[in-house]
Chains A and B, each alone.
Chain A
Amino acid sequence: MSTPALTAPKQPLFSRLPVISHLKKSVGLQRGMLVVGVVLSGLFILTSIFAPLLAPYGYSQLSDASGSFPTQQAPSSEHLLGTTVGGYDVLSRVIWGSQTAVTVIIVSVAMSLFLGVALGLLSGYFGGWLDRILVVVADAIYAFPTLLLAIVISIVISRGQSSFWGGIFSCAFSITVVFVPQYFRVIRAETIRLKAEPFVESAKVLGASSMRIIGRHIFKNATRTLPLMFTLNASEAILTLAGLGFLGFGIEPTSAAEWGFDLNKALADTSSGIWWTGVFPGIAIVLTVLGLTLVGESINDLNDPRIRGRKRAGRTPAPGTPAAPTTPSTPAEAGKP
């Protein structure tokens, strides 16, 4: 990935974008997984954008022109996926739920990216006592059950009140606290590795300031793994959001639709055989997480030459792929950490 690509002629920006470049180098099963993942994630994002057009009713709508919605009604032509115990339309809440999920993902991942990358770069580059303290704190948080930490933080932030943005931010911030150590660890490790590279030393010799070295030389190289972390963290963010909602620390049903909350309410329905209130929001979570995970997984596999499947010998390698050995190389480094 690193050295040969530097000497190869530059591809247009489009084909160097994370997912697209991966799509080009994938073959067979891996390409299938990546495509499925991209399609599912795309559907998720499109649904969230067009939720107001797609959803037949509002997320907190309890009645329309023909009167109040029936409660716990089985799927019918009026309510395609039925209604909940509170009289909400299940389909509408599933569709609106994607909007909540996307918002939380964007806010939480943006915050944790910013904090994690900044702390990781500083800590890795400067070292010293700041580094030691940050590493110990990050390790302590990293080992702790993420959901538990998210619960504690969300009650501290929201204190029971949960308007739309209040709820979104308390969820997003809880998720951020959980993620920052992960970004921090990865970026710090990369920074330490890069600090010893000759190009950093030559920049130092030329008299570049620390900020310039970090911002210009290390930042670009250390953030290669971020697309992968982004997709995997996005799926974890959804699971954490749903977990918080399920335990009742999420967003009120009148402020936004949230899948975890709906599943919580659906739990009581199951014993009387009412399945539609729980199954559909659940499927929405599974498909979304599945899509994002498949994308992340495929990127991970394609970045790892030991796992990556190769194109067969005789076929010309796709442009942009560094000349890959045509036979699966023996993983000589497998034992090394």
Chain B
Amino acid sequence: MTTLIEVPEAEPGIVAPKSKSKAGGGLGRYIVIRFFLIIPTVFILVTLVFFLMRVIGDPITASQGGRLPPDVLAQRIHDAGYDRPVLVQYFEYLGQLITGNFGTTITDRRPVVEVLTTFGAATLELSINALIVALAVGIPFGLIAAQHRDKTPDALLRFFAILCYATPVFFSGLLLKLTFSVWLGWFPVAGRASTRTELTMSGLAAPSGIYWLDAIRSGNFTALGDIAAHAVLPAIALGLLTAGVFLRLVRTNVIGTLGKDYIEAGRSRGVSEYRLVTKHAYKPALIPIITVMGLQIALMLGGAILTETTFEWKGLGYQLVQYLNARDFVAVQGIVVLLAIIVAVTNFIVDIIAALIDPRVRY
């Protein structure tokens, strides 16, 4: 639903009529209030995930049960403190989170923070690539569809948008792999880079983890080519999912602005239809895109899990599935909490950007 229609919104909780009269003070206040709204969101999700995970039992039995003798198991449970009351563990966990300690994974005994920083960069890279594809496809096509409203191009593009939404990422990924890697042999089948490049990348001093950034910084252009070839198919698969949403949004909003008085005024002065769309109507239509992008981040992270599994792209989503299959719930909990924080913070940033651009959203 986040993807398709704008559901009627409830009146926002914080309506501060006073701040409207103040010209400058409103934004600062809005940012502060909006910032503090992150806390309950993250807190609720952490609580939800923690208790859901504990319903299954303690994490050590879940991952090691049956493999270790019962007395060793009991000893390890006792050492890790999982035999204490759940509420005590819950508050301890909250305390650890505040100090940035996400725990240690059970299966491979790595600090969760280390897992997050290692694989987070790969997911970030994938998301950026996909976002570029989504914007590059969605905005121009949306403009074209709006300009030819209810004509053939519009019909085709709208159908394309719905098709983008209707195709699961792993199916479009599978089709892309089949066509472009197996049959045509243009792109590699899976992974972020070939083994040699991956070795070079991990050997770099202070790598950012985002491969193309590292390759450019170290001036290694053969590696850059290899990375780009690997990035194309996953970026398209994940990007198209969001492109459809952007296309529809741009179309609806441009059609909306095209009916406004100032466009009518331009038209009556003889400004061409093409110029009306590209110069006058599309800018105000882009504002809702920024707002919706916040919601798209959540959709994209979900899609990233599937895309990474499809293309063996070793990011957070791929790793999450590995840990889930190994029943390592400390790691799962850590990754899920981190993703919750990412979603909350990006929504915050997006809201601030929207407020900077459009003063009407400041309450």
Binding site for B on A (CB under 8 A): 28-29, 33, 132, 135-137, 139-148, 151-153, 155-156, 159, 179, 182, 185-186, 188-190, 192, 225, 228-229, 232-233, 235-236, 239, 242-243, 246-249, 260, 263-264, 266-267, 270-273, 275, 278-279, 282, 285-286, 289-290, 293-294, 296-297, 300, 306-307, 309, 330-331, 334-335, 337
Judging by beta carbons under 8 Å apart, are A151 and B324 in contact?
Answer: yes
Judging by beta carbons under 8 Å apart, are B305 and A192 in contact?
Answer: no
How many angstroms between the C-alpha atoms of A95 and B69 in the bound complex? 46
B347 to A, closest residue via Cβ: A143
Interface: B170 (CB within 8 A): yes
Judging by beta carbons under 8 Å apart, are A156 and B166 in contact?
Answer: no
Binding site for A on B (CB under 8 A): 1-2, 4-5, 7-11, 13, 40-41, 44-45, 48-49, 52-53, 55-56, 150, 155, 158-159, 162-163, 165-168, 170-171, 174-175, 177-178, 181-183, 189, 252, 255-257, 259-260, 264, 295, 298-299, 301-303, 305-306, 309-310, 321, 324-325, 332, 336, 339-340, 343-344, 347
Judging by beta carbons under 8 Å apart, are B178 and A146 in contact?
Answer: no
Judging by beta carbons under 8 Å apart, are B166 and A235 in contact?
Answer: yes
Judging by beta carbons under 8 Å apart, are A293 and B310 in contact?
Answer: no
Distance to closest chain B CB from A139 (angstroms): 7
Judging by beta carbons under 8 Å apart, are A286 and B171 in contact?
Answer: yes
Judging by beta carbons under 8 Å apart, are B170 and A29 in contact?
Answer: no
How many angstroms between the C-alpha atoms of A20 and B41 in the bound complex? 41
CB contact under 8 A between A145 and B299, given known A263-B174, A282-B174, A293-B162: yes
Chain B, interface SS category: helix
Judging by beta carbons under 8 Å apart, are B256 and A306 in contact?
Answer: yes
How many angstroms between the C-alpha atoms of A294 and B339 in the bound complex? 32
Contacts of A142 in B (CB 8 A): 2
Judging by beta carbons under 8 Å apart, are B336 and A143 in contact?
Answer: no
Contacts of B298 in A (CB 8 A): 143-146
Judging by beta carbons under 8 Å apart, are B344 and A143 in contact?
Answer: yes
Judging by beta carbons under 8 Å apart, are A270 and B174 in contact?
Answer: yes
CB contact under 8 A between A137 and B189, given known A29-B155, A156-B56: no
How many angstroms between the C-alpha atoms of A201 and B159 in the bound complex? 45
Contacts of A273 in B (CB 8 A): 178, 182-183
Distance to closest chain B CB from A271 (angstroms): 5
A-B contact count (CB 8 A): 190
Contacts of B181 in A (CB 8 A): 271
How many angstroms between the C-alpha atoms of A246 and B299 in the bound complex? 17
CB contact under 8 A between A188 and B155, given known A144-B298, A156-B56, A293-B4: no
Distance to closest chain A CB from B159 (angstroms): 8
Q: Known contacts A155-B324, A289-B167; can you find 14 more A-B pairs with CB under 8 A?
A: A136-B41, A143-B347, A144-B45, A144-B340, A243-B302, A246-B309, A263-B168, A263-B171, A266-B174, A267-B170, A270-B178, A271-B181, A278-B174, A285-B166
How many angstroms between the C-alpha atoms of A239 and B167 in the bound complex? 9
Contacts of B182 in A (CB 8 A): 270-273
Choose among A148, A232, A306 the residue that contacts B302 (Cβ–Cβ < 8 A): A148
Judging by beta carbons under 8 Å apart, are B7 and A152 in contact?
Answer: no
Contacts of B344 in A (CB 8 A): 143
A193 to B, closest residue via Cβ: B8
Judging by beta carbons under 8 Å apart, are B299 and A135 in contact?
Answer: no
Judging by beta carbons under 8 Å apart, are A192 and B11 in contact?
Answer: yes
Judging by beta carbons under 8 Å apart, are A331 and B256 in contact?
Answer: yes
How many angstroms between the C-alpha atoms of A135 and B10 in the bound complex? 10
B51 to A, closest residue via Cβ: A156
How many angstroms between the C-alpha atoms of A179 and B45 in the bound complex? 16
How many angstroms between the C-alpha atoms of A229 and B305 in the bound complex? 26
Choose among A28, A144, A232, A293 the residue that contacts B150 (Cβ–Cβ < 8 A): A28
Choose among B44, B252, B305, B310 the residue that contacts A136 (Cβ–Cβ < 8 A): B44
Distance to closest chain B CB from A245 (angstroms): 10
Judging by beta carbons under 8 Å apart, are B8 and A190 in contact?
Answer: yes
Distance to closest chain B CB from A246 (angstroms): 5
Choose among B7, B52, B309, B343 the residue that contacts A153 (Cβ–Cβ < 8 A): B52
Contacts of A337 in B (CB 8 A): 9
How many angstroms between the C-alpha atoms of A242 and B1 in the bound complex? 17
How many angstroms between the C-alpha atoms of A200 and B42 in the bound complex? 37
Contacts of A189 in B (CB 8 A): 7-11
Distance to closest chain B CB from A2 (angstroms): 13
Contacts of A296 in B (CB 8 A): 4
Contacts of A136 in B (CB 8 A): 40-41, 44
Cross-chain pairs A/B with CB under 8 angstroms, 26 sampled:
A33-B158, A140-B48, A141-B48, A144-B339, A144-B340, A144-B343, A145-B302, A148-B305, A148-B336, A152-B336, A156-B56, A159-B56, A235-B166, A239-B168, A243-B168, A243-B302, A243-B306, A248-B325, A264-B170, A267-B170, A279-B175, A285-B167, A285-B168, A289-B166, A330-B259, A337-B9
CB contact under 8 A between A293 and B171, given known A139-B41, A140-B41, A229-B1: no
CB contact under 8 A between A185 and B10, given known A144-B343, A148-B301, A232-B5: yes
Contacts of A190 in B (CB 8 A): 8
Judging by beta carbons under 8 Å apart, are A188 and B10 in contact?
Answer: yes
Distance to closest chain A CB from B70 (angstroms): 20
How many angstroms between the C-alpha atoms of A139 and B181 in the bound complex? 41
Judging by beta carbons under 8 Å apart, are B150 and A309 in contact?
Answer: yes
Contacts of A228 in B (CB 8 A): 5
Judging by beta carbons under 8 Å apart, are A182 and B174 in contact?
Answer: no
Judging by beta carbons under 8 Å apart, are A29 and B256 in contact?
Answer: no
Distance to closest chain B CB from A296 (angstroms): 7
Judging by beta carbons under 8 Å apart, are A290 and B166 in contact?
Answer: yes
How many angstroms between the C-alpha atoms of A236 and B4 in the bound complex? 10
How many angstroms between the C-alpha atoms of A247 and B52 in the bound complex? 19
